[in-house]
Amino acid sequence: MTQIASEREARLTYLKRELAKSVTRSRYFNQRNCHYEPPTRAIPQRVKKLIKEIETLEINMGAEGSRRAPSSGRQTKAPARLKD
């Protein structure tokens, strides 16, 4: 089970690197301000595919994580709201 999770994490890291490469090499990347300015009409197909695959992987990893207890000692509970 942990091997599957580590493979997913490795795949997610790889996809994020590929997305960063394709964005920084794009003609829509502003070198001066160091940010991506997407085209006004449509996002390039390669970027769309990478984003979609990253989102599905993150959703799957999140669903898997919610089924098992957190391995670290951290609390995943949301903080309580302050009353006025």
Query: Above 60 in pLDDT, residue 31?
Result: yes
Going from N- to C-terminal start, the domains of the chain cover 2-65
The C-alpha atoms of residue 41 and residue 81 are separated, in whole angstroms, by 41
Q: Are the beta carbons of 36 and 30 closer than 8 angstroms?
A: yes
When pLDDT is cut at 50, 70 and 90, the band that residue 28 belongs to is confident
State the chain's mean pLDDT as an integer. 74
Would you say 60 and 32 are in contact if contact means Cβ atoms under 8 Å apart? no
Long-range contacts of 49-52 (CB under 8 A, 24+ apart): 50/15, 50/18, 50/19, 50/22, 51/19
Q: What is the pLDDT of residues 36-76, one digit of tens each?
A: 777 777 778 888 888 899 899 888 887 766 555 555 444 45
pLDDT of 3 strictly over 80: no
Say what the pLDDT of residue 65 is: 62
